[in-house]
């Protein structure tokens, strides 16, 4: 976190190049991804809930995740159908995962996943859903068995990713640690006039849909790589001005 002094509500932009893969690259348009599932099981839940996860630097691998119930009157979504081989068929062996219930949270231990396109093997895949008035679903894994990536963040605390009632409206998340990176602010508020404040940002990938940002850990970006923030504001005379600051801390 870095304390910044500013006088107006601002728009923040930051840019950093991380390796050859991200330099000059354009992120894929996740809004244009085809929302088609080749084959689905007979669901027990009256309203199964859908999300789509994409993998690889170009987001070419597509994996559907559908929350279901073990019985129609179950109070929690305690079954997950996860397309392990990314073939669009959710009925294959090993793709129905029973959740582990702990209070209002159900955790689905997916384990390993090998991207069939780029052949990367990711480990410790886990999807956790918390029921309640603002039900939310979070995703985590170790990218290539090394870098922790978590997905489903919102610009403000909660409610995080909301699965949809059908494939057409399903959120799209991109939980990888390669490709063109972007930033998302965390609890951005108005900057008080003449005072210092804190600006917090995530590094990772934007998804498509509400609350779908996937972030790498605070140790991913080397400390000697600068993160620059440009503050764009209008002064008392109505003129647009810009001020730049460097985010120095990892938190």
Give the pLDDT confidence of 161-174 residue by residue, as tens digits. 999 999 999 999 99
Domain boundaries, the chain: 52-223
CA contacts within 13 A on the Cβ side of 92: 13
Q: Residue 46: is its pLDDT beyond 70? A: yes
pLDDT for 3 equals: 34
Rounded mean pLDDT, 87-98? 95
Query: How many CB atoms are closer than 10 A to CB 249?
Result: 12
d(CA 58, CA 225): 24
Query: Which residues touch 194 (CB under 8 Å, ≥6 apart)?
Result: 5, 7
User: Phi/psi at 167 (nearest 5 deg)?
Assistant: -60, -35
**219 pLDDT tier (thresholds 50, 70, 90):** confident
Give the rounded percent of residues in the chain with a pLDDT score beyond 70.
87
d(CA 202, CA 149): 11
**20 pLDDT tier (thresholds 50, 70, 90):** very low
pLDDT for 180 equals: 84
Q: Residue 115: is its pLDDT beyond 50? A: yes
CA dihedral 115, 116, 117, 119 (to 10 degrees): 60
**12 pLDDT tier (thresholds 50, 70, 90):** very low
pLDDT for 133 equals: 76
d(CA 215, CA 141): 11
Beta bridge mates, 117: none
Q: Residue 5: is its pLDDT beyond 60? A: no
For the record, the structure tokens of 213 come out as 């940002």
pLDDT tens digits for 64-92? 999 999 999 999 999 999 999 999 999 99
- Residue 32 burial (C-beta neighbours within 10 Å; 0-12, 13-18, 19+): exposed
């Amino acid at each position: 976190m870095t304390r910044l002094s500013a006088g107006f509500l601002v728009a923040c932009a930051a840019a950093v190049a991380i390796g050859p893969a991200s330099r000059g690259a354009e992120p894929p348009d996740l809004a244009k991804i085809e929302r088609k599932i080749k084959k689905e099981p007979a669901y027990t839940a009256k309203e199964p809930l859908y999300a789509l996860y994409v993998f690889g630097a170009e987001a070419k691998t597509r994996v559907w995740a559908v929350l279901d119930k073990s019985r129609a009157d179950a109070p929690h979504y305690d079954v997950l159908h996860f397309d392990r081989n990314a073939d669009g068929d959710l009925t294959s062996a090993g793709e129905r995962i029973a959740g582990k219930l702990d209070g209002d949270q159900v955790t689905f231990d997916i384990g390993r996943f090998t991207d069939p396109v780029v052949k990367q093997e990711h480990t410790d895949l886990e999807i956790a859903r918390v029921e309640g008035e603002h039900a939310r679903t979070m995703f985590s894994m170790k990218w290539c068995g090394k870098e922790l990536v978590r997905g489903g963040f919102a610009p403000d605390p909660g409610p995080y990713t909301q699965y949809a009632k059908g494939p057409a409206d399903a959120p799209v998340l991109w939980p990888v640690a390669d490709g063109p990176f972007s930033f998302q602010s965390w609890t951005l508020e108005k900057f008080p006039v003449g005072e210092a404040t804190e600006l917090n940002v995530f590094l990772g990938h934007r998804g498509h849909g509400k609350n779908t940002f996937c972030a790498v850990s605070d140790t991913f970006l080397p400390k000697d790589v600068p993160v620059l923030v440009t503050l764009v504001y209008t002064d008392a005379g109505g003129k647009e001005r810009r001020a730049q600051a460097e985010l120095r801390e990892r938190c």
